[in-house]
Structure formats: structure tokens, C-alpha cells
């Protein structure tokens, strides 16, 4: 199956790999960016044939450009959503554009007669606000009223719930499903890398003195793009939800893989742990660390079995993704070793 598809947020990490895979399969792609001044830069990073893709200026918080971007499209992959590297002062800086952007994309897609709408959500909409540690599935939802749930998790949960409610009331025959990825790693497409890559960068450049008791479920961006493609093209996707994630790994495990696979290039990677109180002290001066202190000692594993059973999807070994991320950071000069 091919046709014309709108991929929102074309300058983003996940969207970039999705666009590459769709172009390789013969799709015609419309994509949104906030300013067309970035079109030459984004085109160069994507490296897809010029005839395969058209760019449209559109913003999550404004109607301008959306009708033109989705015109003639049978499918939409709504990937665009705010994901800042640092903590925000007001949680609505994330919640409002995430929710309103999803609803805006849905309204214009429905008006254009789109038949399939795949939205990139997150395991952040699944695994937070719950006591204890366990393995989460698509049946779970983050409790946004629970203490300690951060603004990003709230934004993804509220946006996905709002989208599902809108589709139930107004979607008609349009099929809607979500992809809920864990921490996304893999080779960089440009120097504008995603926030989830920051923890690998910090291990490599020695900016953390030791391993905090923090961990993440890891998924490769190339495999995540493939999961989107499968959800866009498989039959019977109405109201589906797919976790895209691999194994949960503590930062110490990630560091051990880096030292083993990269040798001298990983010489700045720490070799010992750091107490929780040290990380909390660092968080006083570093907003990006402040966002994760609530995760100390937590294990938020998420099962991708549903994606395997329904779509035949699997992610490559996490070690490969970690090493490819590190190699890309080094090769681009983002990390000096």
C-alpha cells in the first residue's frame, strides 16, 4: 500500500526516520515544519528524493497551513509534540500544545477524508502515577492526578485521551491508533537530537560523576519508524494502541555496554554509582536532571508483546541501539572523546 501521507513535525527525530522509510516504499509525503526557512536544512538531513516530499508551514497552536498540508492525503502520522530537554516552569507549556495540536490535526484530517490516523504517544501516557514496579501494557494509563507525575507524562496522557475521545465522538470511519514508545535511541539524523539521547551523551562526555539509580526502556528509532509504518498499513487498526519498547536498562548497564564496545572512546564513562542525594543536589542546578529525580530506583518496564502478536514487530538488541547512538554522537563531534 502506498499513497499520500501527512507526517507532522518533519524536522523531528522519529518523523525523520519515518519519512525515510515511507519514501523508500514509494509514498508521497507531505510534512509540516514550523517555518519554511528550515526546509533546505531538513531536506538535506532527510536525504530523500525531492519529488517524494513537500513541506508546509504549520504550528500545533494555529490553524494556518493545516488544510493545505493534509489535502489529498489518505493517511496521517501525527508525530509532532513538544518534548523540551529541560523542565518547564508551567506544565501547560507542554500540555496545551500537545492536546490542542493533536485535536487540530484530527479535525483537519477528518475534514480532508483521511482514512487512517496514527498518533505518536508515549509510554509516559501509560506507566506513571502507579505505586510499585511492574510491567505495563497498553491497558494501563498514567494517573495524571498522582503526586510526582511530571509535565511531560501529563501532556502525553492528556493529549492521547483527548484524541481518543474526539475520535469516538467525531471520527466517523477514520481509523485511529497510537504508538507509545519508550526512550528512543539510535543514530542521529542531524545535530538537532532528541531529548532521550541526552543520557547517553552525558555518560560519554563525563558530565555525570557516576551512575544514578535511573533506568529507561530502550527502543531503536529505526524500529520505531517501522512500527509506525506497520500501524499505518495493516488492516483493522481502529482504536489500537501499541507499546514500542525494548528492555528496561539501568544507566549502569548502559555504561557497561559503552565501555565494552567502544573501548578508549568510552574512557569518560563512569565506573561507579552515585548516591541519590548527590543527584538531587545536582538537580538544584540542572533542570534536565530535576525532571528525572522522581525516577530514582524505579523500574518502569513496558511489554511490546501486543505489537509482536498483532503486527509482527520487534526491536533490535538494545546494545546495538546504544552503541549506534554513541558512535553517532562521536562522529558528529557532539561528544569529544
Q: What is the C-alpha to C-alpha distance for residues 114 and 40, in angstroms, rounded to an integer?
A: 28
Residues catalogued as catalytic: 156
**Looking at residues 296-303, what average pLDDT do you find?**
80
Amino acid 131: pLDDT: 85
Answer whether 158's CB lies under 8 Å from 151's CB.
Answer: no
Strand duo 215-220 + 240-244: pairing? unpaired
Amino acid 149: pLDDT: 87
Q: What is the C-alpha to C-alpha distance for residues 306 and 68, in angstroms, rounded to an integer?
A: 35
Model confidence band, residue 295 (pLDDT cutoffs 50, 70, 90): low
Model confidence band, residue 215 (pLDDT cutoffs 50, 70, 90): confident
Task: Kindly calculate the radius of gyration of the chain based on its CA atoms and give it in whole angstroms.
Answer: 19
DSSP conformation class of 317: P
Amino acid 117: pLDDT: 98
Answer whether 66's CB lies under 8 Å from 58's CB.
Answer: yes
Helical ranges in the chain per DSSP H: 13-24, 39-46, 66-70, 92-111, 151-170, 198-205, 221-233, 251-262, 276-285, 287-290, 305-311, 318-331
Q: What are phi and psi of 177, to 5 degrees?
A: -150, 165
Percent of the chain with pLDDT over 90: 75
Q: What is the C-alpha to C-alpha distance for residues 304 and 201, in angstroms, rounded to an integer?
A: 26
Q: What is the C-alpha to C-alpha distance for residues 334 and 336, in angstroms, rounded to an integer?
A: 7
Q: What is the C-alpha to C-alpha distance for residues 58 and 137, in angstroms, rounded to an integer?
A: 33
Answer yes or no: is pLDDT of 133 > 90: no
Q: Is the model more confident about 242 or about 290?
A: 242
DSSP output for 36-85: GGGHHHHHHHH---GGGEEEEE--TT--TTHHHHHTT-SEEEE------S
Q: What is the C-alpha to C-alpha distance for residues 115 and 79, in angstroms, rounded to an integer?
A: 17
Domains observed in the chain: 4-253+283-331 (3.40.50.720)
Q: Which three cell numbers stand for residue 285?
A: 542546578
Percent of the chain with pLDDT over 70: 92
pLDDT, one tens digit per residue, over 169-186 is 999 999 999 999 999 999
pLDDT, one tens digit per residue, over 43-89 is 999 999 889 999 999 999 999 999 999 999 999 999 998 766 566 67
pLDDT, one tens digit per residue, over 96-114 is 999 999 999 999 999 999 9
pLDDT, one tens digit per residue, over 264-293 is 999 999 998 887 677 677 666 666 666 666
Task: Scan for cell 513537500, then name that residue.
Answer: 54
Answer whether 82's CB lies under 8 Å from 95's CB.
Answer: no
Task: Report the chain's mean pLDDT, rounded to a whole number.
Answer: 91
Instruction: Single out the residue of 14, 318, 38, 6 nearest to residue 189, CA to CA.
Output: 14
DSSP conformation class of 209: S
Amino acid 315: pLDDT: 93
Instruction: Single out the residue of 45, 90, 87 nearest to residue 193, CA to CA.
Output: 45
Amino acid 293: pLDDT: 62
Task: Scan for cell 499505518, then name that residue.
Answer: 232
Model confidence band, residue 118 (pLDDT cutoffs 50, 70, 90): very high
Amino acid 230: pLDDT: 98
Amino acid at each position: 500500500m502506498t499513497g499520500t501521507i501527512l507526517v507532522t513535525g518533519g524536522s523531528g527525530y522519529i518523523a525523520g526516520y519515518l519519512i525515510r522509510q515511507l519514501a523508500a516504499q514509494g509514498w508521497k509525503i507531505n510534512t509540516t515544519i514550523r517555518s519554511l526557512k528550515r526546509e533546505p536544512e531538513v531536506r538535506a538531513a532527510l536525504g530523500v528524493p525531492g519529488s517524494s516530499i513537500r513541506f508546509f508551514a504549520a504550528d500545533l497552536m494555529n490553524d494556518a497551513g493545516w488544510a493545505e498540508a493534509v489535502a489529498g492525503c489518505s493517511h496521517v502520522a501525527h508525530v509532532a509534540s513538544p518534548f523540551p530537554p529541560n523542565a518547564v516552569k508551567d506544565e501547560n507549556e507542554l500540555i496545551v500544545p500537545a492536546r490542542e495540536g493533536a485535536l487540530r490535526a484530527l479535525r483537519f484530517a477528518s475534514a480532508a477524508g483521511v482514512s487512517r490516523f496514527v498518533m505518536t504517544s508515549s509510554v509516559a501516557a501509560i506507566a506513571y502515577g502507579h505505586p510499585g514496579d511492574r510491567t505495563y501494557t497498553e491497558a494501563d494509563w498514567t494517573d495524571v492526578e498522582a503526586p510526582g507525575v511530571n509535565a511531560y507524562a501529563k501532556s502525553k496522557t492528556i493529549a492521547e485521551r483527548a484524541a481518543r475521545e474526539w475520535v469516538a465522538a467525531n471520527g466517523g470511519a477514520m481509523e485511529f491508533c497510537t504508538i507509545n514508545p519508550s526512550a528512543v535511541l539510535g543514530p542521529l539524523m542531524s545535530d538537532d537530537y532528541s531529548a532521550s539521547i541526552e543520557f547517553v551523551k552525558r555518560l560519554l562526555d563525563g558530565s555525570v560523576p557516576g551512575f544514578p539509580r535511573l533506568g529507561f526502556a530502550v527502543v531503536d528509532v529505526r524500529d520505531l519508524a517501522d512500527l509506525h509504518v506497520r500501524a499505518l498499513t495493516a488492516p483493522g487498526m481502529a482504536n489500537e494502541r501499541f507499546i514500542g519498547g525494548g528492555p528496561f536498562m539501568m544507566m549502569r548497564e548502559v555504561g557497561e555496554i559503552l565501555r565494552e564496545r567502544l573501548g578508549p572512546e568510552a574512557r569518560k564513562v563512569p565506573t561507579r554509582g552515585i548516591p541519590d542525594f548527590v543527584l538531587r543536589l545536582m538537580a538544584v542546578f540542572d533542570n534536565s536532571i530535576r525532571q528525572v529525580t522522581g525516577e530514582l530506583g524505579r523500574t518502569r518496564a513496558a511489554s511490546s508483546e501486543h505489537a509482536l502478536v498483532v503486527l509482527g514487530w520487534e526491536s533490535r538488541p538494545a546494545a546495538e541501539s546504544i552503541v549506534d547512538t554513541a558512535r553517532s554522537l562521536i562522529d558528529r563531534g557532539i561528544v569529544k572523546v
